[in-house]
């Protein structure tokens, strides 16, 4: 329990109040343990090359004497550390040449850096989120799911009260729908700012989650107490905006704690939490509006769902404050390094995240925080197409809030609470597909991971092939069975196909994106959230008019035909990636094009970087992606051919 609480917001508060007396870390309890956290090999590379990575070609790497590898350090009895440090100091005195005291390697005066690099204590370091116990990782996954549901339910829980909003504020029903769409628009735009901030090592995930959730909870009261429609719309947008981070970075948090071969299971559970919020919202809100009103009471019927949202999210805030630990590996290492510097007084102790931050200018921070999510999601062709497809599915999900009213209230004459029960068809469809999906992951996907625990990202896409066909099946079934002479259970069964299709599509894409862009998972998922939220915000505005003018059958069929047009997208991407050479796939993943390269060169070379440097940086980016998905031989052939 100590390990769970120590890195939570409550744990940090306890450590601050007691000045570190309680909930100590390993290096604080045992001052000698800190030597395990020094990566001697990378420190030596820093001393020689100014970089933590060794030269790619072993022939180009000069011999480095005095490096004790971690394997040698723990398989043989090491020489006394103090004696070796004293020897290093004597060498420095006699030769006047700086010596890296960790590795014993002379520091290259031209390009080396005398840094002692702090990293994980081996592959089994218990503070590495991916080495946490199974219970701790499952518990954190549950917390992320709870937070996701607590925010997502806020969109649809409002829909049950739209008629009452229109009546009280004297606006049209379409205008009253703005309370729903602005909330969705808010949680679509928020991650474009908050998600990149969570990738900054000095910040991490938890401060973003808790600070924004506190504002989300606080803003529910003025929302429910709104005195005019403009105030209501403004606070609905703001609550969506501040509730948004987990909707994008929840997947990045799961990627922090689960290895790629197991991450799909956690993402599936998170996907259920994401679906359960919008589908359970009308159920909870419907009964609250229908039975919560008391004649002469202190509040209007439409406000009861808002109060329920405040209670749920408030409980979630308290729960996460006490029990949600930080999951960002970079943030954990940054704080570890700060503790070691405080214990030892050695300012040369650094982690890689700090070294990267030192080299970043204000311009680089702005580019990373504000520009990168847009460039990744609008200029990378593969990401753009998949985001567009997911956006369509999300828009269709929010159209259900209007189509269910037309069918189950207009045709079958359900009450608000009973109409909310009809949404359980979507939820049940999602639950039914989990066993076969997990079986597929176990016996088909997991064997395709290599010895390094990696998989070609396109191997995540096949479930989307099936999911794509489920969406039009649902829409045609639902549209042409919603008739008084046909039992109401039939269109509900048809809607379950949407839950199956959406689950398979969401999990395929949301697992593909972190695999394709592991270093920028939060940013690329934030862009995905922007796409789908834009469609989710816009579709309900025309849904009511479309169903009124076209009728239930043809309105659903129109959407079905549109969804048919999107089915080829995952097939095409899978075919292109599977049949292309590794180098072509690397360029496609990087969205490499001459037009984009020229734009980057123009933007970055104005007084900052020469064109040749930008070109080399672009090629290095592609090279890095290539090496990640394939061996180096093909790249070496490319270099030989191009000089």
Nearest to 231 by CA among 316, 303, 156, 310: 303
CB neighbours of residue 299 within 10 Å: 14
DSSP string, 159-210: GGGHHHHHHHHT--HHHHTHHHHHHHHHHHHTHHHHHHHHTSTTT-SHHHHH
pLDDT value of position 480: 94
Alpha carbons 241 and 525: distance in angstroms, whole number: 16
| In contact, 439 and 523? CB cutoff 8 Å | no
pLDDT value of position 133: 92
Burial code of 351-374, b = ≥16 C-beta within 10 A, e = fewer? bbbbbebeeeeeeeeebbbeebbe
CA atoms within 13 A on the CB side of 511: 33
Nearest to 214 by CA among 140, 313, 146: 313
Q: What is the largest CA-CA distance in the chain?
A: 98
DSSP 59: G
Give the helix ranges, DSSP H, for 50-121: 70-75, 81-95
HEC-encoded secondary structure of 411-469: CCCCCHHHHHHCCHHHHHHHHHHHHHHHHHHHHHHHHHCCCCCCCCHHHHCHHHHHHHH
602 confidence band (pLDDT: 50, 70, 90): very low
pLDDT value of position 252: 85
Give mean pLDDT, residues 508-515.
86
pLDDT value of position 393: 93
User: pTM of the full predicted structure?
Assistant: 0.76
Averaged pLDDT score across all residues of the chain: 78
pLDDT value of position 476: 95
pLDDT value of position 369: 64
Q: Say which residues have a Cβ less than 8 Å from residue 415's Cβ, sequence separation at least 6.
A: 286, 290, 409
| In contact, 532 and 513? CB cutoff 8 Å | no
92 confidence band (pLDDT: 50, 70, 90): very low
Q: What is the pLDDT of residues 175-227, one digit of tens each?
A: 998 998 999 889 888 888 888 888 888 889 999 999 999 999 999 999 999 99
CB neighbours of residue 81 within 10 Å: 12
CA atoms within 13 A on the CB side of 395: 22
Give mean pLDDT, residues 311-338.
93
pLDDT value of position 485: 92
Q: Which residue has the higher pLDDT, 8 or 36?
A: 8
| In contact, 577 and 218? CB cutoff 8 Å | no
Q: Say which residues have a Cβ less than 8 Å from residue 543's Cβ, sequence separation at least 6.
A: 398, 399, 401, 402, 403
67 confidence band (pLDDT: 50, 70, 90): very low
DSSP 38: B
486: Cα separation from own chain's centroid: 43
pLDDT value of position 500: 94
| In contact, 502 and 255? CB cutoff 8 Å | no
Alpha carbons 81 and 86: distance in angstroms, whole number: 9
117 confidence band (pLDDT: 50, 70, 90): confident
Alpha carbons 3 and 23: distance in angstroms, whole number: 8
Alpha carbons 122 and 36: distance in angstroms, whole number: 8
CB neighbours of residue 435 within 10 Å: 9
| In contact, 505 and 579? CB cutoff 8 Å | no
145 confidence band (pLDDT: 50, 70, 90): very high
Give the containing element (helix H, strand E) for 302. none
Least confident piece of the model among 27-36, 138-147, 163-172, 547-556: 27-36
pLDDT value of position 54: 55
CATH of 134-327+361-579, one of 3.40.50.2300, 3.30.930.10, 1.20.1250.20, 3.30.70.1060: 1.20.1250.20
Q: What is the pLDDT of residues 452-481, one digit of tens each?
A: 778 888 888 999 999 999 999 999 999 999
Tell me: pLDDT of 124 over 90. Answer: no
429 confidence band (pLDDT: 50, 70, 90): very high
Neighbour-count burial of 191, counting CB atoms closer than 10 A to its CB (0-12 exposed, 13-18 middle, 19+ buried): buried
- Classify 98 as helix, strand or coil: coil
Tell me: pLDDT of 507 over 50. Answer: yes
What radius of gyration do the chain's Cα atoms show?
Answer: 28
| In contact, 337 and 201? CB cutoff 8 Å | no
CB neighbours of residue 188 within 10 Å: 27
Least confident piece of the model among 105-114, 181-190, 429-438: 105-114
Bridge partners of residue 350, in order along the sequence: 117
Residue 76 has phi, psi (to 5 degrees) of -130, 155
Q: Which residue has the higher pLDDT, 563 or 93?
A: 563
| In contact, 529 and 244? CB cutoff 8 Å | yes
Tell me: pLDDT of 640 over 70. Answer: no
Nearest to 329 by CA among 304, 357, 345, 352: 352
Q: Which residue has the higher pLDDT, 33 or 309?
A: 309
pLDDT value of position 26: 80
Q: Say which residues have a Cβ less than 8 Å from residue 540's Cβ, sequence separation at least 6.
A: 177, 180, 181, 398, 399, 401, 402
pLDDT value of position 573: 86
Query: CA separation (Å) from 359 to 350, 363, 617?
Result: 13, 11, 15
Burial code of 501-532, b = ≥16 C-beta within 10 A, e = fewer? bbbbbbbbbbbbbbbbbeebbbbbbbbbbbbb
Q: Choose the most confident range, by mean pLDDT, from 67-76, 185-194, 248-257, 313-322.
A: 313-322
623 confidence band (pLDDT: 50, 70, 90): low
Bridge partners of residue 117, in order along the sequence: 350
Query: CA separation (Å) from 457 to 24, 221, 518?
Result: 40, 44, 10
Alpha carbons 626 and 628: distance in angstroms, whole number: 5
Q: Say which residues have a Cβ less than 8 Å from residue 544's Cβ, sequence separation at least 6.
A: 173, 174, 177, 402, 406
Q: Say which residues have a Cβ less than 8 Å from residue 549's Cβ, sequence separation at least 6.
A: 555
CA angle 552, 553, 558 (to 5 degrees): 100
Query: CA separation (Å) from 425 to 145, 160, 275, 343, 421?
Result: 20, 18, 12, 58, 8
| In contact, 536 and 186? CB cutoff 8 Å | no
DSSP 299: S
Q: Where are the domains of the chain?
A: 31-52+98-129+328-360, 134-327+361-579
435 confidence band (pLDDT: 50, 70, 90): very high
- Classify 106 as helix, strand or coil: strand
Bridge partners of residue 118, in order along the sequence: 38, 351
96: Cα separation from own chain's centroid: 50
Q: Which residue has the higher pLDDT, 350 or 522?
A: 350
CB neighbours of residue 559 within 10 Å: 25
């Amino acid at each position: 329990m100590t390990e769970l609480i120590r890195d939570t917001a409550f744990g940090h508060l306890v450590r601050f109040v007691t000045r570190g007396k309680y909930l100590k870390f390993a290096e604080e309890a045992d001052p000698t343990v800190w030597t395990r956290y020094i990566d001697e090999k990378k420190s030596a590379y820093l001393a020689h090359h100014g970089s933590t990575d060794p030269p790619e070609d072993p022939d180009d790497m000069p011999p480095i004497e005095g490096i004790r590898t971690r394997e040698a350090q723990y398989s043989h009895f090491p020489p006394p550390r103090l004696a070796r440090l004293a020897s290093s100091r004597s060498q420095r005195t006699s030769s006047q040449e700086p010596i890296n005291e960790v590795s014993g390697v002379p520091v290259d005066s031209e390009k080396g850096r005398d840094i002692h690099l702090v990293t994980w204590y081996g592959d089994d370091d218990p503070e590495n989120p991916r080495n946490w116990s199974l219970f701790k990782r499952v518990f954190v996954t549950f917390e992320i799911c709870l937070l996701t549901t607590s925010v997502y339910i806020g969109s649809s829980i409002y829909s049950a009260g739209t008629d009452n909003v229109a009546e009280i504020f004297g606006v049209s029903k379409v205008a009253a729908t703005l309370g729903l769409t602005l909330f969705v628009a808010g949680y679509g735009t928020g991650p474009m700012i908050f998600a990149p901030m969570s990738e900054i090592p000095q910040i991490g995930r938890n401060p973003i989650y808790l600070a924004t959730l506190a504002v989300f909870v606080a803003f529910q009261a003025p929302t429910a107490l709104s005195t005019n429609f403009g105030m209501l719309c403004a606070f609905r947008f703001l609550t969506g905006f501040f509730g948004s981070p987990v909707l994008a970075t929840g997947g990045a948090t799961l990627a922090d704690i689960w290895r790629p071969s197991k991450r799909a299971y956690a993402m599936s559970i998170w996907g259920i939490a994401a679906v359960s919020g919008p589908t359970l919202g009308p159920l909870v809100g419907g009964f609250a509006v229908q039975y919560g009103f008391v004649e002469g009471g202190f509040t209007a019927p439409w406000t009861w769902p808002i109060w329920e949202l405040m209670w749920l999210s408030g409980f979630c805030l308290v729960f996460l404050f006490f029990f949600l630990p930080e999951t960002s590996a970079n943030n954990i290492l940054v704080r570890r390094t700060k503790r070691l510097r405080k214990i030892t007084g050695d300012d040369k102790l650094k982690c890689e995240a700090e070294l990267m931050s030192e080299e970043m200018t204000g311009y680089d921070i702005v580019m990373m925080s504000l520009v990168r999510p847009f460039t990744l999601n609008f200029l990378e062709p593969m990401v753009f197409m998949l985001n567009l497809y997911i956006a369509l599915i999300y828009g269709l999900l929010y159209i259900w809030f209007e189509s269910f009213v037309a069918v189950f209230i207009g045709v079958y004459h359900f009450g608000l609470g009973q109409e909310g029960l009809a949404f359980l068809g979507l939820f049940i469809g999602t639950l039914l597909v989990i066993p076969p999906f997990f079986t597929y992951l176990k016996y088909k996907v997991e064997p395709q991971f290599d010895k390094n625990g990696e998989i070609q990202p396109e191997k995540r896409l096949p479930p989307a092939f099936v999911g794509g066909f489920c969406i039009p099946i649902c829409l045609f079934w639902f549209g042409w069975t919603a008739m008084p002479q046909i039992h109401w259970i039939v269109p509900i069964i048809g809607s379950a196909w949407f839950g199956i299709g959406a689950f398979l599509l969401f999990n395929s894409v949301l697992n593909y994106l972190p695999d394709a862009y592991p270093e920028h998972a939060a940013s690329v998922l934030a862009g995905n959230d922007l796409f789908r939220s834009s469609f989710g915000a816009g579709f309900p505005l025309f849904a009511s008019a479309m169903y009124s003018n076209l009728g239930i059958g043809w309105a659903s069929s129109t959407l079905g035909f549109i969804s048919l047009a999107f089915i080829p997208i995952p097939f095409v991407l899978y075919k292109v990636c599977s049949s292309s050479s590794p180098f072509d796939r690397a360029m496609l993943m990087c969205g490499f094009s001459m037009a984009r390269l020229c734009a980057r060169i123009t933007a970055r070379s104005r007084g900052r970087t020469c064109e040749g440097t930008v070109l080399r940086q672009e090629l290095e980016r592609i090279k890095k992606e290539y090496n990640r998905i394939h061996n180096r031989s093909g790249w070496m052939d490319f270099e030989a051919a191009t000089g």
